[in-house]
Amino acid sequence: MWKLGVNIDHTATLREARYRGLSRGEPDPVEAALACVRAGCHSITAHLREDRRHIQDRDIDRLAEALTVPLNFEMANTSEMVAKALQIKPAYVCLVPEKREEVTTEGGLDVVGQSEQIAATCQRLQSAGIEVSLFIDPDEEVVKASKATGALAIELHTGAFAESYESESVQDAELTRLIHAAELGHSLGVKVNAGHGLNYENIKLLHRVPRLEELNIGHSIVARALSVGFETAVRQMLALMEPASPQGSQ
Ligand code: PXP
């Protein structure tokens, strides 16, 4: 069965809208993360951006301290972030492009163009016991290039699939892309995760994609938590991730 990683960045987005530059404020992303863990999520993702637009260093430090499930530390491949990862030693690091917007318009990492730098970071982090995953577009060339870097995992960018809901044919094409990339990644021996733009509707279609191990979902869970709370929002998502969920075919 799929595992669920909850990305709690947007709780910090809300906090920073009022408390930017201050040492505390609400909502607290760590409290949110702990509620998600109580509801049964399998990991927590947080992205420390260079511009600190949502998650702050202190959030990452507290998460690393408080979590009883793996922390998936999302970061750009910079020396500052590599040093931070080596300091907090999360279970996973997910390397992402640094300048991308919140809403999916850009693709995943340029693994082909930056293969040397990415391979060097994989080597440094993985020799410290941190599993590295590369956030990539679901394309054959990029999956193969990811394997060549030595990364143990890939996270397939589901943004294009998520944005294709207005056209069934585009949606089918995006699902096919994900299916091929997942099969290829699995056959090459890397762990295949997926994420970005997944929500309570499109998750039902994602059951067509084989080989996925963990889904990283943020915005839709945080948004739903505003009305039903984190524990219920996570339980509702976990129910839709069950293989036997009504639309599921996994
Ligand atoms: N995976 C990665 C690598 C991401 O960068 C994000 C968003 O920051 C997500 C998953 C979660 O995306 P969403 O918030 O749209 O669920």
| Digit-coded pLDDT (tens) for 106-156 | 689 999 999 999 999 999 999 999 999 999 999 999 999 999 999 999 999
Q: What average pLDDT does the chain have?
A: 94
The whole-number pLDDT of residue 106 equals 67
pLDDT at residue 107, rounded to an integer: 83
Residue 105 has pLDDT above 90, yes or no: no
Query: Ligand 1 center to residue 128 CA distance, Å?
Result: 25
| Distance of CA 168 from the midpoint of ligand 1 (Å) | 23
Task: State the closest ligand 1 atom to the C-alpha of 47, by its place in the atom list counted from 1.
Answer: 8
Confidence at 243, pLDDT banded by 50, 70, 90 = confident
Give the position, in ligand 1's atom list, of the atom nearest the Cα of 100: 5
pLDDT of residue 116: 98
Per-residue model confidence (pLDDT) at position 154:
98
Domains of the chain, residue spans = 3-243
Binning pLDDT at 50, 70 and 90, where does residue 101 land? low
First and final C-alpha spacing in the chain? 9
pLDDT confidence bin for 99, thresholds 50/70/90? confident
Measured in residues, the chain has a length of 250
pLDDT at 103: 46
Peptide bond into 27 cis (omega under 30): yes
* Average pLDDT value for residue range 83-90: 98
Residue of the CA atom closest to atom 9 of ligand 1: 196
Asked if residue 59 has pLDDT above 90, the reply is yes
> Best of 13, 74, 99 to mutate for ligand 1, by most ligand atoms within 8 A of CB?
74
pLDDT at residue 245 is higher than 70: no
Give me the mean pLDDT over the 206-226 stretch: 98
Catalytic positions, written as ranges: 47, 74, 196
Q: pLDDT tens across 160-200, in order? A: 999 999 899 999 999 999 999 999 999 999 999 999 999 99
- Ligand 1 nearest-atom number relative to CA 197: 15
Q: Which of 196, 201, 234 to mutate to test the pocket of ligand 1 (most atoms within 8 A of CB)?
A: 196
Q: Which residue CA neighbors atom 4 of ligand 1 most closely? A: 196
Kindly indicate whether the domain formed by 3-243 is annotated with CATH number 3.20.20.70: yes
96/75 Cα distance (integer angstroms) = 6
Please tell me the predicted confidence (pLDDT) of residue 100.
Answer: 57
pLDDT at 216: 98
Average pLDDT in the 27-33 region?
Answer: 98
- Predicted pLDDT at 250: 39
